[in-house]
Amino acid sequence: MDYSLPWLDALKWDENGLIPAIAQEATSGRVIMFAWMNRESLQETVATGTAVYWSRSRQRLWHKGEESGHVQKVRSLRADCDGDVLLLLVDQIGGIACHTGRESCFFLELQGDRWVPTDPTLKDPKDIYAK
């Protein structure tokens, strides 16, 4: 990573102008989510202090919590040594990061030859996305 470049230019964006972003709960250290960012979403994240991602399925900016209310307040933003992955240390408002109503999107554990949900559902998704 070339530290002499302006911060956005120093990052390595993929062929679609995206960079992987990992969200980690600042207090517990638990990885709670993975998403993509583009330049605009990263700039918006820095400007607002809340996580904004790029939704590949919707092809638009996605303000985390815009529908659920489960906003991510960004405490710290880091890049890896190659400048091709971001790590957001966040306070997950409401304690739910996953659209399934769980604390983390990483709730499936390989047990033998099956993926098994190991984390409880904290809130029914029907109640989160009832709008």
Buried residues in 69-84 as b, exposed as e (16+ CB within 10 A): ebbbbbeebebeeebe
Q: What's the predicted TM-score (pTM) here?
A: 0.90
pLDDT digits (tens, 9 = 90+) for 25-83: 999 999 999 999 999 999 999 999 999 999 999 999 999 988 888 999 999 999 999 99
What integer best gives the mean pLDDT of the chain?
Answer: 93
Say whether 43 sits in a helix, a strand or coil.
helix
Domains within the chain, CATH numbers bracketed: 7-96 (3.10.20.810)
Could you tell me what percent of the chain has a pLDDT over 70? Answer: 98
Q: Would you say residue 85 has pLDDT above 70?
A: yes
User: In 3D, which of 89, 90, 76, 81 has the Cα closest to residue 10?
Assistant: 81
CA–CA separation, 120 and 97 (whole Å): 13
Q: Would you say residue 131 has pLDDT above 70?
A: no
Instruction: Yes or no: say if 117 and 104 are a contact pair by the CB < 8 Å rule.
Output: no
